[in-house]
Structure 1
């Protein structure tokens, strides 16, 4: 029986994606959680879901898919597990999420709203409130 060589095809594509995007995605996770270990766990889960869906997402934008998975996981657990440290700790988890998507990642207001299941006006208010809080 021959061993499966994972260094071919889709596996190599995924590995290349991780090599190129993991640093930026980890930074997003750290901004959200404020805790490097929690950020690593959050990112590992998002990358695992990306890999599980690789055949479908590799033709699209795997970075966007992974970021959405990362943000969805944070939104599900943000209030319970991610207290955060640093300057963003003053913000609620939802304000942090909106601020990171809108300001750091440059995601359009309408796209952010759709991803979070919020009206665009609510995203605008949350972003403005977060920016004012940080001033």
Structure 2
């Protein structure tokens, strides 16, 4: 019996991937770029890159990870542009906004998203993938194309900077609710 060539994934399987992966990819993109329109562009670019290599994907179950890696590498290339998102270094950190809590009391609101924006791109990506997307060290290393040791050192540096920005008394596991209803 002659061997049949293995078929690549179908366009229908790609459509299923888009529908299933879009929400998680979008939330990750928002955390990385802090702008909803740019996040949509980032997800679309990552999915376009995924589709460009669709015929080479052997296991459709791995496609979600491929799309996530495309998203992170695309975001990283965007971060390398000096003019990305109009971010400019400043000598002083902006004041944290004051809001009213559920009981109507005025309180300092800890804005983890603003603090994340002040991290260098790789540290931001590590924090988002490790603690928001709940990836392991090895999965994060694979998504970023770096070693596990780099993930660990970047995580340590990022958490140190976040503690400095948010204060030592902040429990980063319960600091604020992020888009999608999860906590940072």
Query: What is the TM-score of this pair, normalised by structure 2?
Result: 0.61
Cα deviation 1:35-81 (Å, max 9, x = unaligned): 11111111111100111222232534111000000111111121321
Unaligned runs of 5+ in 1: 1-8
SS in 2 for 1:68: helix
Matched with 1:6 is none
Matched, 1:118 2:146: yes
1:66-77 to 2 correspondences below 5 Å? 66-77=67-78
**1:98 aligned to 2:121?**
no
* Counterpart residue number, 2:26: 26
Q: Which residue of 2 aligns with 1:13?
A: 13
Tell me whether 111-120 or 71-80 shows the greater mean CA deviation: 111-120
Matched, 1:131 2:140: no
Q: Quote the offset at 1:111 in angstroms.
A: 3.9
Matched ranges for 1:69-88 at <5 A: 69-80=70-81, 81-82=84-85, 83=87, 86-88=114-116
Which has the larger helix fraction? Answer: 1
Q: Which has the larger radius of gyration?
A: 2
Alignment length, in residue pairs?
127
Normalised to the residue count of structure 1, the TM-score between the two structures is 0.80
CA displacement at 1:113 relative to structure 2:
3.1
